[in-house]
Amino acid sequence: MFESAVEGRSTPNLAFLLEAGRYRRAVSTFPSLTPVCLSTLATGAHPDVHEIPHLVWYHRGERRLVEYGSSFGAVRAAGTRRSLLNTVYEMNERHLGKRAVTVYEALEDAGLTAAAINITCYRGRTPHRPTVPVPVLTRPAYGPKRFFFYSLFESDVTGARLAVRNRPGGTIDAYATAVGRWLVTRDGFDFLVFYLSDYDYASHAQGPDAAHDALARCDAAVGALVAAAGGEQDFLDRYAVVLCADHGQTPVRDVAHLRDRLPDALVTASNRAGMAYVDGDARPHAVRLDGAPGVDVVLFREADEAVARRDGEELRFSRTGDGFATSGDASVLDHPNALERAWAALANPNAGEILVSAEPGWEFADLGRRPRPLRRRAAPLRPAPRPPMTPRERLVERLRRNGVVDERVLAAIGRVPRELFVPAAQRGRAYADEALPIGHGATVSQPTMVARMCEELALTGGERVLDVGTGSGYAAAVLAELAREVVGIERVPQLAERARAALAAAGYRVDVVVGDGSLGLPERAPFDAICVAAAAPAPPPALIAQLAPGGRLAVPVGRRAQRLEIVVNRPEGAEIVHSIACRFVPLVGAEGFDRPR
């Protein structure tokens, strides 16, 4: 959504920040729910330290549910007064872990002035009395020196209108904008958290791809701060800026009811994550979720290990110094930074014994949602249980969920035995969606990136393709499924030999040549497509020259901030038609970098 809005120039202020800075994808903590993610942003720690486990959870010490606002129905079910106290006071006063240090505490202990607008994780050193007559707000909230919380607490009189007048109309962010403008014009802080929540609200209501008006209002709010500072250059001269989301959104079509599957557990669920609090062994409860509609991954602890379970397959993992020891099927947990995030979520003392992540397109019913009515039928037939997917099939489904849409490419990925192209020690992770080291400073590319490059090359089956930086041979095998002829070039003789052996073992006829990939193979040109599996300083002219008319070159460009550029050989000259963010090892050679990093 952000990228399309910036490319479409509908958000000029966000585009200005993008052009002035550096952009990359980030990974949120887990579970990726607002209070958990905001606590991570405010403390720099995962839930094992800040101890906020979910939007709704069971307080073992007080033997009660804590509800922060999953939905209006959930708040009513848990008790409106109690939920308001949980969210406004107790999350920061009592639930946020004592070992965690918020950025406001750290900065103000160092003598600087921190400010926060509308962020729910706000713990600081300064008491602030309520500013509106709400009966349950009877004591101060301790926040940063400059503190503004939905008109309920205000450290200064700014003239901003009441925040909660019309949430669908954007009054929450309008309040934040007025306060932010007031602070900037007075240079009233050394550090400011400017939290805009209306886009999140609109995404839940309309779907993440339809909330264009809310994103435009976010852009206008940022523009108001820029204008208050005196314009773009003055704004950048005065402030260092980090623009980020607390978590992502995904479309939801169906609702799953975890309580139906776990009748003997205390289930707390909302949005796309759930928890179950159980007595004794967690495994029998976790097994009940095998094949359950809407369930993606189930996490639980056994002794000193964590277990991730999906469709009956398991991955076990435990901490070993700075990393993790694993055993089992690595593709069960092939999400970004999955081991770190899952371990921290399970180590939260307030979390349930079982954590559940939803499949794409699904969410879990919260306290305010009644189960959907069952239609009574005579002699109902139970559908046959779905057979567990193989690791390769799960990888294909993950690529489809990650936005790969070309079914020919997905089918090609599904036919290539990736385990033949990775070192023996890495074969347990062969179908994880990640790059894997193969020695000599090289990697076997991430399947998502291989798929995206193949999509961009738009192969139809009759092409001659040059694979630059053949490495393990995996990308060459996928290309061989899609094109008439593939030639590979690899600068490291040992890798070239291993690639030849792996390709032959998998049944692919690919000629792998040892040479400088940045210069291509002019004696074998022209090529209808060239795929480069390493990052160059710029699209190599030698490779562009070897493209047939209309041929396409996919090449990563850059050393640190990289982008995948698609170059098309037009009659009037080479044209870059598309670029996306990426991450590759450097292309070493005459038209690449002079040495590996």
**What are the DSSP E strand ranges found in 129-248?**
141-143, 146-149, 153-154, 191-194
Give the separation between CA 433 and CA 449, rounded to whole angstroms: 9
Residue 511: helix, strand or coil by DSSP?
strand
Place of tokens 């139809």: 460
Cβ neighbours of residue 76 closer than 8 Å, sequence gap 6 or more: 368
**What is the largest distance, in Å, between two alpha-carbon atoms of the chain?**
82
Give the separation between CA 536 and CA 558, rounded to whole angstroms: 6
Give the relative orientation of helices 198-206 and 171-185 as an angle to the nearest 10 degrees: 160
Residue whose C-alpha is closest to residue 183's, from 130, 124, 228, 216? 228
Residues 296, 95 contacting (CB under 8 angstroms): no
Q: Which two tokens stand for residue 167?
A: 């949430």
**In one letter, which amino acid is 277?**
Y
Q: What is the number of alpha carbons within 13 Å of residue 217 lying toward its C-beta?
A: 24
Alpha-carbon separation of residue 126 from 130, 288, 521 (angstroms): 13, 48, 68
445 catalytic, yes or no?
A: yes
Residues 582, 532 contacting (CB under 8 angstroms): no
**Length of the chain (residues):** 597
Q: What is the number of alpha carbons within 13 Å of residue 594 lying toward its C-beta?
A: 0
Q: Which helix (H) or strand (E) holds 297?
A: strand 295-302
Catalytic residue among 445, 472, 518, 579: 445
Angle made by CA atoms 247, 251, 252, in degrees to the nearest 5: 110
Cβ neighbours of residue 298 closer than 8 Å, sequence gap 6 or more: 286, 289, 308, 309, 310, 354, 355, 356, 357
Catalytic residue list: 445
